[in-house]
Amino acid sequence: MAGPSRTTQRIAVRRYRDGGSERARDAVSIEEPLEIRVRPHAGEGGSVAVTMRTPGEDFALVAGFLLTEGILSDRADLAELTYCRSGTGPQLYNVVEARLHAGVAFDLDRLSRNVFTSSSCGVCGKGSLEALDVSGCRSLPSEGTIRLPSDVLAELPDALRRRQSDFDRTGGLHAAGLADADGHLHVVHEDVGRHNAVDKAIGEAFLAGRLPLHDRALVVSGRTSFEILQKAVAAGVPAVVAVGAPTSLAVDLAERFEVTLAGFTRGGGFNLYAGRERVVEATASAASSHPVASES
């Protein structure tokens, strides 16, 4: 296993160009399994998921996952995050254990997943929209939450792309960031998994005690699925901006929980699927500050 901060690896390749070939070296994104374990204050814990991820920011990933899966609801629930050792052997970076404070309910039988969490699809097989009500999620208020100028919103994916340093080297990573109303990205994380990148971004804010994220927009480099919307709702993020398309269930979820959802955000434009009240359109007065020269 690689150390917790190594994200890319150089490998030998044969490069074919213009009818010829040559030996070369190329960077690829590292993909490794991470087992997530939860231990209550008293009693035995156990494994709740295995995900394929890019090593690095593992504690943020685990914190974000546990929050958005309804295992944690407050920073005070979490006593400690630690890598696990295998006996007396060297430290391995493929198992993280979350230790809970006293009084935090934990039902391993209910939470354990008999599925493999892949880097591409996250935890597959989620039950239904009603599961969000069980975890305490409610509609996000329109007052007191982020309002995004339409021109700022349209530039957010480009701003995210400029922060994707590992993607520049490998071309194989997704990204997620948290932006303010001025378009400044306060948090950016990359990962081979779309859902992992979101968990890392939300998890960092969770560990810093910044939730709910009513003053932030979640920006993602790919499409928007049901689970990405669920994670946003769980973290109190009122706006999700994506380069790609949303799924039908993501749109349903955005409408139900009053989340602003933008897709196909590229080339200076976007499609708005829900939550128009948080998007501030350019005004006629702003347009008049740049008059078009008329022919004489």
Percent of the chain predicted with pLDDT > 70: 81
Bridge partners (DSSP) listed for residue 52: 33
Query: Residue 252: is it exposed, middle or buried by C-beta count within 10 angstroms (0-12/13-18/19+)?
Result: middle
Report the candidate in 168, 140, 174 with the shortest Cα–Cα distance to residue 261. Answer: 140
Q: Which pTM was predicted? A: 0.84
**Confidence band of 107 (pLDDT split at 50, 70, 90):** confident
List, in sequence order, every beta strand (DSSP E) within the chain: 8-17, 20-29, 32-39, 46-53, 78-85, 91-100, 148-149, 174-179, 185-191, 217-220, 239-242, 260-266, 269-274, 279-280
Report the candidate in 112, 99, 100, 115 with the shortest Cα–Cα distance to residue 48. Answer: 112
Residue range 173-219, pLDDT digits in tens:
899 999 999 999 999 999 999 999 999 999 999 999 999 999 999 99
Residue-averaged pLDDT of the chain: 83
Residue-range domains of the chain with CATH: 32-131 (3.10.20.10), 148-280 (3.40.140.10)
- Is 121 annotated as catalytic? yes
List 84, 121, 124, 137, catalytic entry: 121
Residue 119's pLDDT is: 43
Q: Reply yes or no on whether the pLDDT at 120 is more than 50.
A: no
Q: Reply yes or no on whether the pLDDT at 114 is more than 50.
A: no
**Confidence band of 172 (pLDDT split at 50, 70, 90):** confident
Residue range 36-50, pLDDT digits in tens:
999 998 877 888 889
Starting from the edge strand earliest in sequence, which strands make up the sheet with 269-274, in order? 185-191, 174-179, 217-220, 239-242, 260-266, 269-274
Residue 111's pLDDT is: 62
Report the candidate in 158, 169, 162, 177 with the shortest Cα–Cα distance to residue 57. Answer: 177
Residue range 244-258, pLDDT digits in tens:
999 998 999 999 999
**Confidence band of 89 (pLDDT split at 50, 70, 90):** low
Q: Reply yes or no on whether the pLDDT at 292 is more than 50.
A: no
Q: Which two tokens stand for residue 245?
A: 């398309």
